[in-house]
Amino acid sequence: MRMVLLASAMLVLPGTVFAQVLATVDDAQLTWDDVLYMIGGEQNVPYLGITSEASAVEVLQSWVREEILVRAAKSSGLETDPEVQHLLEQAERQILLEAYMSELVAGLQPSQLEIENYVDEWLSTYRKSAHVRHIVVDNLNLANSILARVRAGSDFASLAEEYSMGPSSANGGDLGWITRGQSGFMAFDEAAFRLGEGEVSDVVETGAGYHIIKVVETEPLSPEPTLDEIKQVVAMELTQVMQEEAIMAKVEELEVNHEVNLYPERLLEQL
């Protein structure tokens, strides 16, 4: 955890005086508030490993060394290097994106009643695991065409190898054994875990594309998860869905204010 101070030193702004100063380099100051921010809060203080004055000095020196190196990098003109500028722009883009999305979803969570109602309907699906194969494509018409071939008796694994996107295609679409919440998409899980052994789903849309799901076999979970454990998973899944819906609704609201052009054929030419 001490290395967190090294990795996070650039977050400390010169002249910040939120608390008693712990260390300085020229006009840059490190305060206790800065340390707490770097390590993610007071709950992580024990991981600093400060048990003596010597270990306290070591932690503070790590920040000092980092600050000196950052200043040297700036003095060398690295900030004007095109590659460094590109990296800084990408970092800024990611920070802004994450901060904005965090604001959009702040406070979103399902009610206890919503959790309990969902558990009542889907309880049995949280008490088994399933060996699953899937085919995922980015075109609904193609997905429907593949599904028709599956229904007509074509080999599922062969179709997955031929058409499916992603790493599982090389293994016939085999995702192995999964439980509820592992796929990352509630719609996928709901479709997969309502299937019996050997059954194939209709086309299921998620943020990853259009899926056709086949359950190879199922078995009960051992040990069986408790009701409280299941409710925790459900709360997590419902929260994720609510957040995704809020973000997509905002994107659709904002998109009308922008001129958007897509050139997929140009992308394909590069592949």
pTM higher than 0.95, yes or no?
Answer: no
Query: Is-contact 3 58, C-beta < 8 A?
Result: no
Tokens 């007071």 belong to 42
Position 19 pLDDT exceeds 80: no
160 or 18: which leads in pLDDT: 160
pLDDT band at 267, cuts 50/70/90? confident
d(CA 209, CA 225): 30
Tokens 């990352």 belong to 184
d(CA 251, CA 255): 6
Position 228 pLDDT exceeds 50: yes
Q: Please, what is the Cα angle at 7 between 6 and 11, to 5 degrees? A: 100
Question: What structural domains does the chain harbor?
Answer: 2-76 (no CATH), 125-220 (3.10.50.40)
Position 226 pLDDT exceeds 80: yes
pLDDT tens per residue, range 137-169: 999 999 999 999 999 999 999 999 999 998 999
Residue 189 CA: distances (Å) to CA of 156, 177, 182, 196, 206: 19, 12, 8, 13, 10
